Structure 1
Amino acid sequence: MAKKKSKKKQNSRRKKGSSKKSFSVIKFTITAGLWVFFFGLLLTLWYAKDLPEITANADFGKKTSITFLDRTGKIITRYGGLQGETVAVFDLQPHTVHALLATEDRRFYYHHGIDPIGIARAMVVNLMAGRTVQGGSTLTQQLAKNLFLTHERSLKRKIQETLLALWLEREFTKDEILTAYLNRVYFGSGAYGIDAAARVYFNKPATQLNLEESALIAGLLKAPSRYSPRNNPSLAKARTKVVLSAMADAGYIRKDQAEAEFSLPPMPYIKPKANYLTERYFTDWLMDIVPKYIGTVSENITVKTTLDLDLQKKLEARMNDMLAQNTDRNVGQAAILLINHKGEVLSMIGGKRYSSSQFNRITQAQRQPGSAFKPFIYLTAFQQGWDEDSPIKDEAVSIGDYTPKNFDDEYLGDTDIKTAFIKSLNTPAVRLIHAVTPERVINTAQNLGISSPLRAEAGLALGASEVSPLEMTYAYNQISNRGKGYEIVGIDEILSADETALYKEKGASARYGDSGNYKKLIKLMEGVVEDGTGRNARLPVTAAGKTGTSQNYRDAWFIGFTDDYVATVWMGNDDSTPMKGVTGGSLPAKLWAQVMNDTMRYGNQHDHDPIGSGFFEGLIDALTGGDDDNGTKNDRSSSSKERSRTYNQ
């Protein structure tokens, strides 16, 4: 009996102990839950403090777009979004609205901005799939993110998105929310809003979309580029079938409608060729110019440009082929600018691949031009009475601590201006700038369009001061026009959405100097191509130009012109590391000749004076004759060890 009582007491103690433990667990759970709740509440309140400012600064307006066309009307690129008409949800066909709801938010008209059932369903589907295949965000949440927030993935952004969705549901009706969503969401191919998408993909307004077209457009929202019929019709069709099945599952259409065969618009998928997107260097440059002409862009506009897109892609391929064939020469970058004599840009290639580097080496780079700067010195000398036959010494010279040299220390002794220029001799150029003074040379360069700071020193003779390829091209064009300089332009006309002209290029020009002195200089520059350092730039027509190589092969230039075109070719490395023996008379001159040959084939498209008779019969596909690096030995600007550090920083 005593034992039984003892066992009962022990069992009673165990039950009490177990009860205490259970109570402790419950107490801890409740306490922890309360702390989590209060912490979450405080965190939500903390993040909510920014909402008044966010909603006040919301952009409810349409995104504006700027479409750039080349000189033949081809679309180059588009910045911003292509907008169609604003459409209300009740203006659309029911199946168009149902296609969207079936794929994006079936319970849209039943929740209050947040859908717990949808979130739970997405969690189950994602757990079963082992990856994220379905989202739990409602259309209201997506609109809140589109209107107010960035695409940053963070707890703060998600909490604010949830609070803003609740605010939208309180302030607006369901139809107003859905209308706003349909007019702002991105559907690919630059189309923002369902009406723009309908016009891009089907050339009709959104109010006229049929069932299959509506399903295709709704299916784009998951991945606009991947499911675009322009990029991959087979994936687009498969995605459309998924949407139709979802519509049948939601009860919007019959099963036989979802399973019916349909055809997509004829947009065959063509595997794209290698695209370096170099035309974006040109349009980026213009994006900074457009507001200067028309002010703030507040509507969709079209910019008609001077670029020849087909020629741009041809020259882009030429340049990258040459770089690929000379990887052993350590040429990291190259750039090309091609204009006609009116200053219109036909091609601007600011680097070998825009996707890798958006730095425009034509407009933004500051590089030493080497001997390509010498025309400014010789033009200054002609203005002061020198002539091509004027004698000048080619022998070692020292000006202060500056002791420039010719390549291999080879000197001609007594020579003349013509020979010194054509052979790009260094010491005569230094003697000449000392005679005419650096200040006067700087004045000449500035009058020809050089706006970069130039140092008044003897080293200026060999291009020691940095300049941009854009301003060098302008200066050479003024030389080719015998003193008449045209502003380098890329815009022909800017049109509003209703095709009203907002701006029209007038082609302003300015003149500097006597044309006779330019004729003397042009004759010397023709000699450079015919019998000097630029022989690799020879063409079947008369051409003039100048090579330029900075110290230790850090920069290599060829700039030249024909009767119709001016082109600059630059090669080098962004970090100014030396190339391996690349002079202006080697790869740049060869590429320049290819550029000009390709350009002259398209000459009848560019509104210039006709090419001389017999040109096409004489035109050749490959370059004729020319030297490799021969004849360029004195083109490389050199100086003493004492000065080299200064000129190459």
Structure 2
Amino acid sequence: MGRAEERRARQRGGHRAAPTRSTATPAEGVGGGRAAARRAAKGKGAKKGNGKSGIRRLFTWKKVLGTFFGLCMLGIGAFIVLYIMVPVPDGNAAAQAAERQSNVYKYSDGTVLARAGKVNREIVDLSKVPKGVQHTFVAAENKSFYHDNGIDLRGTARGLYNTLRGRGAQGGSTITQQYVKNYYLSQEQTVTRKLKEMVISLKVDRQNSKDEILAGYINTSYFGRDAYGIQAAAQAYYGVDADRLKVEQGAYLAALLQAPSQYDWAVASDTGKRLVQARWNYVLDNMVEENWLDKGERDAMKFPVPKEPKPTAGLEGQKGYLVDLANKQVAAQLVKQQGITQSQAEAEVVGQGWTITLNIDKKKQLQLEKSVKSQLTSKLDPKKRKVDKNIQAGAVSVDPKTGKIVALYGGVDYFKHFTSNATRTDYQPASTFKPVILAAALDEGAETQSGKPITANTIYDGTSKRPVVDNGTKVGFAPENEDDHNYGDVTVQTAMNQSINSVFAQLGVDVGMDNVLKVAGQLGMDTEGMKPVPALTLGTMGASPLQMAGVYATLDNHGKQVTPSIIKEAEQSNRSVPMPDPIGDQVITQETADTVTSVLTGVVDDGTASASVADNSARDGQQVAGKTGTSDDNKSAWFTGYTPDLVTSVGLFGEDEKTRAHAKMYGAGGEDRVNGGGFPAKIWAAYTFGVSAKNSKFDLDTTQGAAVKPTKSPTVSHTPTQSPSKEPSTKPPTSEPPTSSAPPSSSPPASQSPSNTPSSPPPPSIPVTTPPQGGATSPETPQDPLDGQ
């Protein structure tokens, strides 16, 4: 077929036959072949072009737009059907009840510990609430409340999206939606519940006035302290009826709704107090912005500190502290599982008919209470010594293999001291932080300034007030040792035994304070907001006995993280809340954890805790590791120690009886200074040796530390390298004289003295403001003098 014929065939809709060599004319020759190839290539291109145009025809802008509008119409139609189908239900039983059902709390053996949570609620008419106080809640939660249609489309869409992605509650609900959730629905976070909430909110907004909705909201909200509704909250926090609330008080109650337990001034941490004050200011500033409050009047307002809470009947003694921690841990789990807010979770726990079984061992709990009484409170005489009124004790005991909190001491009585000393985080852990620094050094493979690996035998300069250096540059930190005592060159083991500040300050810089904080967080401390500065090596952050028990339990558990839990089971009618496993991942190596444990046996058998623990007559062969601590100005004193089967952290805190401010403990119980090796260590020993397994030994994977390698014969440095800055006191250091040899890997019997050869007497002591216990021993074979410098 010639070209003309092919052209005519195409015009008629025919198809060109593929050219072949046999049909080519001689005149075409090679050129004809090339032409045929070009025609074939053009044919292929045409086919590809046809494919592309087919896709374009399938996804035209008209079709895409039409599909979008179709889906929108379908969604609108579905919502209309939903709006018609979903009625406004009766209020849920819990919201309508004048009283809520009590929770039952049990010991680990199933015997009843307490019944608590029965909450009375008094509904008040909105006319009984001052207008300014009404506005505080609107300013806090939903400034557009008086103008919106009951829902926040953006917030609801965000909530639906996050629910689908499993991210939980993200806020954004209007007051109407929160009222609907409290009064008509449950707190669960599901797509179905959120859609119902939106539909019912629209209907409620049409059927009810804004005042009726606001009244319902403030009468059904949970404010903490077992208070549901504004009347109960006004009484619980300020001791007045709702009609007598001031605007600044209303602003606090409105701010409180975000996180009742965290923002309750009586128990809030420093962070909690800062956050609630910030939210209080936010509420008042919004009121000024909305012209609900005069700016001059607002500027004159002072934060209204609420009254001390009145504990619920039936929670006397230690019961209230146990119940409070149990409620918080269940609520925290509900937040994680259901994606609800902290406030919603707390409302779901208190007075909701739960049966909560704790991990608390009845025998150990009674032994801990008995030990505090025999070793501390019986020795305090407020009539004889005013300082004795200010002494608070807290303790937490944990099984390191399971993470169970088996005993807890929160204070002298929940009715007399509402704040739990077991969980408060406003006091410094002092030298009980030193093992964390050593753990960081070992786990991070840190080196001294001269580039040698840090071990328990590394030599450091123990001179008091020695300037800390980093790569030859002074960092502006030169901490004082207890009694301003100079130790000369010492090993890390000796520095831990005698709690030498100057050594651990340099050690922290050698490791890198950012690494120290990283490991502290892995071990269970709350390091949020901490700056990696050398001063932290003295334990100047805040921590609780609960936190420190978790840190040391992780060491006892060979580096597997332990997050102490008080909850064994939590059940409510036909559902239960599974609690997380307290035993987590391997956060530091077993060798690191075991080496720190080995070193800490030296503190007990040859250091600051030897008199109260190692030589205690109740000791029955248990091998013990632990660390003492005494904070700045003697405002706190600690002993956190452990046997292979039990970890217990004991803290003593100086707190002014009237103002609740931190107070010094000098002179308490007739002691010149309250040290960690004194009352805290004695409480620990009286408790632990009464309930822990006899003759228990650590199974350690390490070649370092006092448990496996004895230290050399110690001597005392009598020549201070710097002149003391203070006059000597008449009282010598409180620690026992150091021994001439460290104990073997198995601890000596309680009746056997750790040493038969006492060291030389220490020089006169000098009172200081940061006092871990003193004493002096020399290092092993000297190393490079640049080590630790």
TM-score where L is the length of structure 2? 0.45
1:582 corresponds to which residue?
Answer: 674
Deviation at 1:555, TM superposition (A): 0.6
Aligned residue identity for 1:420: A
Deviation at 1:347, TM superposition (A): 1.1
Flag the 1:286–1:626 CA change in 2: closer, same or farther, 3 A.
Answer: farther
Flag the 1:637–1:483 CA change in 2: closer, same or farther, 3 A.
Answer: farther
Matches within 5 A, 1:213-612: 277-294=317-334, 296-297=348-349, 300-321=353-374, 322-327=376-381, 328=385, 330=388, 332-341=391-400, 342-383=402-443, 384=445, 385-396=453-464, 397-399=466-468, 400-452=475-527, 453-497=529-573, 501-503=576-578, 506-535=581-610, 536-538=612-614, 539-540=619-620, 541-574=622-655, 575-580=661-666, 581-600=673-692
Deviation at 1:548, TM superposition (A): 0.5
- Corresponding pairs, count: 391
- 1:145-172 residue CA offsets vs partner (Å, 9 max, x unmatched): x999879899999xxxxxxxxxxxxxxx
Aligned residue identity for 2:391: G
Matches within 5 A, 1:628-643: 638=770
Flag the 1:637–1:415 CA change in 2: closer, same or farther, 3 A.
Answer: farther
- 1:317-349 residue CA offsets vs partner (Å, 9 max, x unmatched): 321332231445635100010110121011111
Asked if 2 retains the 8 angstrom alpha-carbon contact of 1:462 and 1:637, the reply is: no
Deviation at 1:63, TM superposition (A): 1.9
Deviation at 1:505, TM superposition (A): 5.3
Asked if 1 retains the 8 angstrom alpha-carbon contact of 2:643 and 2:692, the reply is: no
Q: SS of the residue aligned with 1:638?
A: coil
Q: SS of the residue aligned with 1:598?
A: helix
Aligned residue identity for 2:521: Q
Aligned residue identity for 2:398: I
- 1:626-649 residue CA offsets vs partner (Å, 9 max, x unmatched): 99xx9998998739xxxxxxxxxx
Aligned counterparts of 2:371 and 2:613: Cα–Cα separation in 1: 15
Aligned counterparts of 1:404 and 1:324: Cα–Cα separation in 2: 36
Q: SS of the residue aligned with 2:419?
A: coil
Asked if 2 retains the 8 angstrom alpha-carbon contact of 1:423 and 1:532, the reply is: yes
Deviation at 1:425, TM superposition (A): 1.1
Asked if 1 retains the 8 angstrom alpha-carbon contact of 2:623 and 2:695, the reply is: no
Deviation at 1:506, TM superposition (A): 3.9
Q: SS of the residue aligned with 1:570?
A: strand
Flag the 1:147–1:572 CA change in 2: closer, same or farther, 3 A.
Answer: closer
Aligned counterparts of 1:155 and 1:570: Cα–Cα separation in 2: 39
Flag the 1:320–1:290 CA change in 2: closer, same or farther, 3 A.
Answer: same
Aligned counterparts of 1:586 and 1:299: Cα–Cα separation in 2: 44
Aligned counterparts of 2:628 and 2:600: Cα–Cα separation in 1: 10
Deviation at 1:380, TM superposition (A): 1.8
- 1:452-486 residue CA offsets vs partner (Å, 9 max, x unmatched): 44332221111122222222211111111121012
Higher normalized helix content (fraction of residues): 1
Deviation at 1:588, TM superposition (A): 0.6
Asked if 2 retains the 8 angstrom alpha-carbon contact of 1:525 and 1:545, the reply is: yes
Aligned residue identity for 2:108: R
Asked if 1 retains the 8 angstrom alpha-carbon contact of 2:551 and 2:562, the reply is: no
- 1:517-555 residue CA offsets vs partner (Å, 9 max, x unmatched): 222111110110011011112333101000000012111
Deviation at 1:442, TM superposition (A): 1.1
Flag the 1:325–1:148 CA change in 2: closer, same or farther, 3 A.
Answer: closer
Deviation at 1:508, TM superposition (A): 4.3
Flag the 1:419–1:309 CA change in 2: closer, same or farther, 3 A.
Answer: same
Flag the 1:504–1:515 CA change in 2: closer, same or farther, 3 A.
Answer: closer
Aligned counterparts of 2:609 and 2:99: Cα–Cα separation in 1: 54
Asked if 2 retains the 8 angstrom alpha-carbon contact of 1:491 and 1:505, the reply is: no
Residue 70 of structure 1 is aligned with which of 95, 99, 107?
107
Flag the 1:408–1:62 CA change in 2: closer, same or farther, 3 A.
Answer: closer
- 1:166-216 residue CA offsets vs partner (Å, 9 max, x unmatched): xxxxxxxxxxxxxxxxxxxxxxxxxxxxxxxxxxxxxxxxxxxxxxxxxxx
Aligned counterparts of 2:663 and 2:632: Cα–Cα separation in 1: 11
Deviation at 1:602, TM superposition (A): 11
Flag the 1:440–1:310 CA change in 2: closer, same or farther, 3 A.
Answer: same
Q: SS of the residue aligned with 1:503?
A: coil
Asked if 2 retains the 8 angstrom alpha-carbon contact of 1:455 and 1:465, the reply is: no
Matches within 5 A, 1:169-248: none
Unaligned runs of 5+ in 2: 1-90, 120-227, 244-313, 335-344, 446-452, 469-474, 656-660, 667-672, 697-746, 756-760, 772-789
Asked if 1 retains the 8 angstrom alpha-carbon contact of 2:550 and 2:563, the reply is: yes
Flag the 1:601–1:476 CA change in 2: closer, same or farther, 3 A.
Answer: closer
Aligned residue identity for 2:330: V
Aligned counterparts of 1:277 and 1:418: Cα–Cα separation in 2: 41
- 1:116-155 residue CA offsets vs partner (Å, 9 max, x unmatched): xxxxxxxxxxxxxxxxxxxxxxxxxxxxxx9998798999
Flag the 1:378–1:584 CA change in 2: closer, same or farther, 3 A.
Answer: same
Asked if 2 retains the 8 angstrom alpha-carbon contact of 1:537 and 1:626, the reply is: no
Aligned counterparts of 2:540 and 2:94: Cα–Cα separation in 1: 50
2:285 corresponds to which residue?
Answer: none
Aligned counterparts of 2:361 and 2:497: Cα–Cα separation in 1: 33
Flag the 1:532–1:59 CA change in 2: closer, same or farther, 3 A.
Answer: same
RMSD across aligned C-alpha pairs, in angstroms?
Answer: 4.1
Residue identity over aligned pairs, in percent, reads 23
Matches within 5 A, 1:26-65: 59-60=96-97, 63-65=100-102
Aligned counterparts of 1:517 and 1:156: Cα–Cα separation in 2: 58
Deviation at 1:389, TM superposition (A): 1.2
Aligned counterparts of 2:230 and 2:487: Cα–Cα separation in 1: 73
Aligned residue identity for 1:334: A
Aligned counterparts of 2:240 and 2:323: Cα–Cα separation in 1: 34
- 1:373-405 residue CA offsets vs partner (Å, 9 max, x unmatched): 101111122232311111111113124543312
Asked if 2 retains the 8 angstrom alpha-carbon contact of 1:558 and 1:569, the reply is: yes
Flag the 1:518–1:595 CA change in 2: closer, same or farther, 3 A.
Answer: same
Q: SS of the residue aligned with 2:578?
A: strand
Deviation at 1:427, TM superposition (A): 1.1
Flag the 1:637–1:619 CA change in 2: closer, same or farther, 3 A.
Answer: same
